[in-house]
Amino acid sequence: MSEVLRAGVMGWPVSHSLSPALHGHWLQRYGIAGTYEAFPVEPDELPSVIARLRDEGFRGTNLTVPHKESAMALVDTIDDTARRIGAANTLVVQDDGTLAATNTDAYGLIENIRADAPEQLAAKFSGRPLVILGAGGAARAALVGLADIGATEIRIVNRTLARAEALAGIVADQDLVVRAMGWEDRARALADAGLLVNTTTLGMQGQAPLELDLGTLPADAVVNDIVYAPLETGLLAAARQRGNPAVDGLGMLLHQARAGFRAWFGIDPEVDDDLRNAVLAARAQ
Ligand code: ATR
């Protein structure tokens, strides 16, 4: 009997997820006998659904809102990345039947920047301070990713200063200084920075614009917005206009998916224009 490898994404709601289009594109491209579907799972059902994963032929699953934190209590092992981020977005059924949780967002953020600004990443942005706008779940992933590439100073700038301060402790390391700064200090935070990452919802379709004067940002600093609707945010347009290398947010979604696909289906899939176009077409529907 030939086995169909199953994976998917679980959320509540989940109908807007782009992950089925993304993984479906790869399954087809690599000719894998597998499926990747979106499963609406109510919070109350999550424990029983996760308990049945292996018996129902799943290699694993992605998790989205509201399951990323609660799932961590339902697995056998949690890796260091998910533990520090405080959330899991990928579960993998191991060969011995146990269930492992990880978080691929930090990997996705870094690999996306590597794809568009490889030299700057290799040079650790010239050793200059790295700036994260925001202090939510996406900021936690960015912080872990940037700490792991060997940043020496990270500035977390957030409207609610206490949230930025709470984040600073998750990557405690004697070689890394993490500074929490208030929103009114954002122009000051950009001075001498090597990278700026927006993880707030500002600039997203239907949200308020991100009001940020880039005047103090060095002209060679890389600017990455994790917002990808619209693809070209006001921040990225302003960055490009003054000559800063700009990295859009769609790539983070695409690259974070590589890690799950690799773990479930055994192939490290490629992120290219065909994939981007397939996912953009799914978003437009
Ligand atoms: P996620 O988990 O997806 O990152 P989140 O936890 O809702 O989302 O975080 C959204 C981020 O956008 C937060 O940093 C939030 O700032 P607060 O911590 O002060 O709430 C930021 N944000 C949202 N609206 C904002 C606004 N109008 N001005 C400044 N920051 C804003």
Regarding the beta carbon of 66 and ligand 1, being less than 6 Å apart is answered: no
State the pLDDT at residue 3. Answer: 83
Rounded to 5°, angle at Cα 276 from 94 and 36: 35
In the CATH scheme, what is the code of domain 118-244? Answer: 3.40.50.720
Tens of pLDDT, residues 139-182: 999 999 999 999 999 999 999 999 999 999 899 788 999 999 99
With the most atoms of ligand 1 within 8 angstroms of its CB, the residue from 167, 200, 228 to mutate is 200
Distances (CA, A) of 157 to 105, 132, 263: 20, 6, 34
Could you list the active site residues?
68
Is pLDDT of 1 > 90?
A: no
Read off the pTM. Answer: 0.96
Instruction: Decide which of 3.30.200.20, 3.40.50.10860, 3.30.450.20, 3.40.640.10 is the CATH code for 5-105+251-284.
Output: 3.40.50.10860
Which atom of ligand 1 is the closest one to the Cα of 139? 4
Tens of pLDDT, residues 217-272: 999 999 999 999 999 999 999 999 999 999 999 999 999 999 999 999 999 999 99
Tens of pLDDT, residues 143-154: 999 999 999 999
Which atom of ligand 1 is the closest one to the Cα of 163? 18
Is pLDDT of 284 > 90?
A: no
State the pLDDT at residue 2. Answer: 59
Equal fold, 5-105+251-284 vs 118-244:
yes
Would you list the domain boundaries of the chain? 5-105+251-284, 118-244
State the pLDDT at residue 172. Answer: 79
pLDDT band at 285 (very low <50, low <70, confident <90, very high): confident
